[in-house]
Amino acid sequence: MHTPPIPAIEKKLKRQNLPMRIAQLLREELMVGRLLPGQALILREVAERFDVSQTPVREALLLLTSEGALEMLPGHSASVPQLSIATILELRAIRVNLEGMAIESACAHITSQDIDVIRSHHVEMLAEREKRNIAGILNANTRFHLALYQHAKMPVLNTIIQHLWVRTAPYLNYMYAPDLPPPSGDYPRHPHLEILDALQKRDTAAAKLWLERDIRLHENRLIDNLRALEQEPA
């Protein structure tokens, strides 16, 4: 006979899961660039925003700190790490390899219906560009890429890729400063469209090539903008 859960145990499990849920919400905010490099997360303010006590928020911040997604500050707060250009370039090199592995696997599993859904994220990204809504652009771009990698059917790899996005995405805001770059860079078509066409044809080599070009295209502009900021007088 099925025995219903003991209420006290169920309540304890819910309390234990709360820090994990808060940490995941903060990861999602980091992945879409909603939190900026150097931005402080005050324990009390985060607790108020999520309408919870400070204890699970503190545990969530400590968890994200252990992952390298945040840095603890003196007192009751944490901050988004500020990365050196060398670290950003290192993370880019890792992303190119791991995301290339993911898209190679996705090429074997993805369907035309899946591609249509992913294409809709690109269309949304272009619409947000028209509105010059940087937050909307970054959100749609993140959904485009992570949706691609989900079809790799490699959950461990997918988790590692998301961790890399948590580390790098806050810097993508600087890609659009002082102005929006051309949608396709030096290419006739946006790399996203080339990726989707390659996936539709099951052309693994082309999908990996255009994914790498997409990553390098945007990261090169980011690095150029960061170097320009470094040279500005204080």
Q: How many helical (H) and strand (E) elements, i.e. helices and strands, does the chain have?
A: 9, 3
Beta-carbon neighbour count of residue 77 at 10 Å? 17
Query: In terms of domains, do 116 and 185 share one?
Result: yes
User: Parallel, antiparallel, or unpaired for β 77-79 and 40-42?
Assistant: antiparallel
- Between 42 and 6, the more confident residue is 42
User: What is the per-residue pLDDT across 197-223, written as a single tens digit (0 to 9) for each?
Assistant: 999 999 999 999 999 999 988 888 888
**What is the extent of the structural domain holding 180?**
85-231
User: What is the per-residue pLDDT across 162-206, written as a single tens digit (0 to 9) for each?
Assistant: 999 999 999 888 887 667 777 666 778 999 999 999 999 999 999
Residues 150/114, Cβ–Cβ less than 8 Å: no
Query: In terms of domains, do 62 and 110 share one?
Result: no
Query: In terms of domains, do 102 and 143 share one?
Result: yes
Helix (H, G, I), strand (E, B) or coil at 129: helix
Residues in the chain: 234
Query: In terms of domains, do 214 and 163 share one?
Result: yes
CA 61: distance to chain centroid?
18
User: What is the per-residue pLDDT across 43-53, written as a single tens digit (0 to 9) for each?
Assistant: 999 999 999 99
Query: In terms of domains, do 171 and 104 share one?
Result: yes
2 in a domain, yes or no?
A: no
* Per-residue model confidence (pLDDT) at position 16: 58
